[in-house]
Structure 1
Amino acid sequence: MRRFILDAHLDLSMNALEWNRDLTLPLKDIRQREMNMSDKPDRGKGTVCLPELRNGRIGIVVATQLGRVTPYGSALSGWHSPQQAWAMTQAQLAWYREMEALGEMTQITNLEQLEAQLKLWNDESIPDTDKSIGYILSLEGADSLVDVSYLQRAYEYGLRAVNLSHFGPGRYAPGTKTEGPLTAMGLELLREMGKLNIILDTTHLTDQGFDQALDFYEGPVWSSHHNVRKFVPNQRQLSDHQIKRLIERGAVIGAMFDCWAMDIRFIDMVSDPWQLDIKLEKIVDHWDHICQMAGNSHHVAIGSDLDGIFGTEQSPWDLNSVADLQKFDEILAKRGYSDTDIANIFSENWLRFLRRAWA
């Protein structure tokens, strides 16, 4: 029987609303509908939908809300006010609620719900095709929180993890491709997150912001979708110093499957994964490095970020859909990982983290 997988980073609602993808449909139907569209580089090349999650036994995901605010003069896409960004995240929340109404998805906000979802997926009397996808709600970049008081509102509808930043300048913290410390609002937000025991996701923080956040925040910390800077030497990936600090905090680091985050040779919208022979196994190099630093397999897992503004044109060439994450069973075994190690990477590390954080 194939293993159960927990994927800690998928932008499902963004794909549903901003890419206008009906994720309840089979992947071939979604691709067919986009065949003649050219507004985005990944049209017709998506890898994620709810049937493919079931096909891959990915029964729990950390699913995002995302609404970036871009300041005047910024070249990045985003909303021009916090209120617009908040409204987008509320539309995304409404989509998740619609998936719940259809029985397609089930929100997970506490240990009881987590264990119930695991029990469902361990029940072999029910076909996987009939099981709902459990989701833990995460906010990627905090810009959409109009002010810190909005965190309580978000917690009440089920938000359980927060990235302070995303790409570019941020209202709470600068993000990828920028420098600098957390803002005063960012420190205030961390204080409120601690009161609510919300998971701090360190992904996208600057180096200065990373250290500042870990020094300041005493609650649970993870890194949902991050690779290793030793192999891809840019600020978006984790340095050995950062990996060491995360290990010390009992964090789990989810590997992401965007080729530019896997292999330094890859250039967005220029390179071809097949020509560069970027395969799923490349991720194991990143996992190996963290495991060697930790002395065990307890701190690495999957946070695929598949369809996070890219598709097969920017994924390992031996991955056609998110269900191909199952290929890691054989890949890891060939690389000498034990059955226990593989189970840790597929789901057990995230589950252990959540049981500890939510106890």
Structure 2
Amino acid sequence: MQKPFIVDAHLDLSMNALEWNRDLSRPLSEIRQREMFMKDRPDRGKGTVCLPELRKGRVGLVVATQLARYTPPGSALSGWNSPQQAWATTQAQLCWYHEMEKLGEMVKITNLNQLDAHLALWDDPTVADDHKPVGYILSLEGADSLVDIDYLHAAHTYGLRALGLAHFGPGRYAPGTKMEGPLTSKGLELLKEMNALNLILDITHLTDQGFIQAMDLYQGPIWASHHNVRKIVPNQRQLTDEQIKLLINRGAVIGGMLDCWAMDIRFIDTISDPWQLDIRLEHLVDHWDHICQIAGNTEHIAIGSDLDGIFGTEQSPWDLNSIADLQKYEGILERRGYTPLDIENIFHKNWLRFLRKAWS
């Protein structure tokens, strides 16, 4: 009997491949071994994501990002010193996805026909999962690299289908996480062009003011690719109950993320230990439960793990060794009283329903 099919709506695959110099086509044990003596990043030797592990966990469709932030003078955040450098970085990331396609490791999904063909392949038990490509929908996390509006059209032409205006810190189109304030004039102009292209707007990382503006102004499809609940983890990065209600009313889906600091308020980056704090996969279900109580159903929650978002096992639930362990949620959710249909909704049906409506 096949394991359930999973859609993960947020992975920074190309950034990991290029900036961390990880060959994600190789087994996870090999990637970790190569990093055994490297000390430049906290997650060296502790990565949780690679293409073989995605296939092992039947995570057959992902929303995969391009990500390159512009850092203005005076900002303490890392990033590129010009939008043109940021754009060039996203193009290198795009090239990596194309190389994975040439190897048969991945396949780009940009429309319903491609989506249906890909799902049929993953539903075919006569083809071994380890011979199936991982499908990816291309998303841009933070719009800084779009030098101007013409670059948005170029990105749409090469397959971009989702876009978030902000990331961390100040942004050319919108301030992001740990900031305050509204969308910039460039951001308002960008939303208009996104409307014309029917791109999916990812509201993740927006400020509270920017969130309200985007919800009011954008007429196209909206999702929250990787977000948890502010009632449980009270910081600006998470969604308030009012924001959750607005998203539900728009038919949005909210992807739960597995970064420990977004799951448990006690966790402090580079200091805390998930095992000592007993932060487990089940902690995310508390966030899902809260959204379900507001929605009255399980049709607005799903997975947006962010498992390779500049962290590894040192900042993931202690009962997760790799992204293949997303399959553990079947048993966890059953024990928490979720029905088989609820679990299908969370694993893949909610994201697929959203895409069918957005792309119809």
Deviations 1:218-247 (A, max 9, x none): 000000000000010000000001000000
Residue correspondences, number: 359
Residue 46 of structure 1 aligns with which residue?
47
Deviation (angstroms), 1:149: 1.3
2:278 aligned with 1:277, yes or no?
A: yes
Query: 3-state DSSP class of the match of 1:188?
Result: helix
Determine helix, strand or coil for the equivalent of 1:59: strand
2:37 is aligned with what amino acid? N
Aligned residue in 2 for 1:323: 324
Query: What do residues 102-137 of structure 1 show as CA deviations (whole Å, max 9, x unaligned)?
Result: 000000000000111100100000000000000000
Shift of 1:258: 0.3
- 2:85 & 2:117 partners in 1: Cα distance? 36
Q: How does 1:1-359 map to 2 (within 5 A)?
A: 1-359=2-360
Distance in 1, matches of 2:276 and 2:228, equals: 22
Shift of 1:48: 0.1
Distance in 1 between residues matched to 2:318 and 2:253, nearest whole Å: 26
Give the deviation of 1:334 after TM superposition: 0.3
Distance in 2 (alpha carbons) for counterparts of 1:115 and 1:59: 13
- 1:178 Cα offset (Å): 0.2
Aligned AA (2:75): S
> How far apart, CA to CA, are the structure 1 residues paired with 2:158 and 2:308?
25
Write the letter of the residue equivalent to 2:237.
R
The 3-state SS of whatever aligns with 2:302 is strand
Equivalent position SS for 1:6: strand
Question: Counterpart amino acid of 1:112?
Answer: N
How far residue 285 of structure 1 moved from its aligned partner, in angstroms, is 0.2
Distance 1:81 1:162 in 2: 20
Aligned equivalents of 2:243, 2:150: Cα separation in 1: 30
SS of match in other structure, 1:215? helix
Which AA in structure 1 matches 2:185? A
Q: What is the one-letter code of the residue matched to 1:327?
A: K
The one-letter code sitting in structure 1 at the alignment partner of 2:201 is: L
3-state SS of paired residue (2:65): strand
Between the aligned partners of 1:166 and 1:61, the Cα distance in structure 2 is: 19
Q: Partners in 2 of 1:307 and 1:272 — Cα distance?
A: 17
SS in 2 for 1:325: helix
Instruction: Read off the aligned partner of 1:95 and give its amino acid letter.
Output: W
Return the letter of the residue paired with 1:142: A
TM-score by length of 2: 1.00
- C-alpha separation between the residues in 2 aligned to 1:188 and 1:149? 12
Aligned with 2:61: secondary structure?
strand
For residues 167 and 173 of structure 2, what CA distance do their matches in structure 1 show?
Answer: 10
Query: What SS class does the counterpart of residue 96 from structure 2 fall into?
Result: helix
> Per-residue deviation at 1:73?
1.2
TM-score, normalisation: structure 1: 1.00
In structure 1, distance between residues paired with 2:292 and 2:342: 10
Secondary structure in structure 2 of the residue aligned to 1:149: helix
Residues in 1 aligned to 2:120 and 2:65: alpha-carbon distance in whole angstroms: 24
* Mapped partners of 1:193, 1:110: distance in 2: 17
Q: 1: distance between equivalents of 2:330 and 2:355?
A: 23
Distance in 1 between the 2:354 and 2:137 partners?
Answer: 13
The percentage of counterpart residues that share the same residue type is: 75
SS in 2 for 1:21: coil
CA displacement 1:128-180 (0-9 Å, x = unmatched): 00000000000000000001111000000000000000000000000000000
Partner Cα distance (2:134, 2:82) in 1 = 33
Partner Cα separation in structure 2 for residue 231 and residue 156 of structure 1: 40
Query: Offset at 1:307?
Result: 1.3
Distance of 2:75 and 2:187 partners within structure 1? 20
**Secondary structure class of the residue paired with 2:180:** coil
Letter in 1 for 2:98: R
Gap runs ≥5 in structure 2: none
Q: Aligned to 1:43, what secondary structure does the other structure show?
A: coil
SS in 2 for 1:7: strand
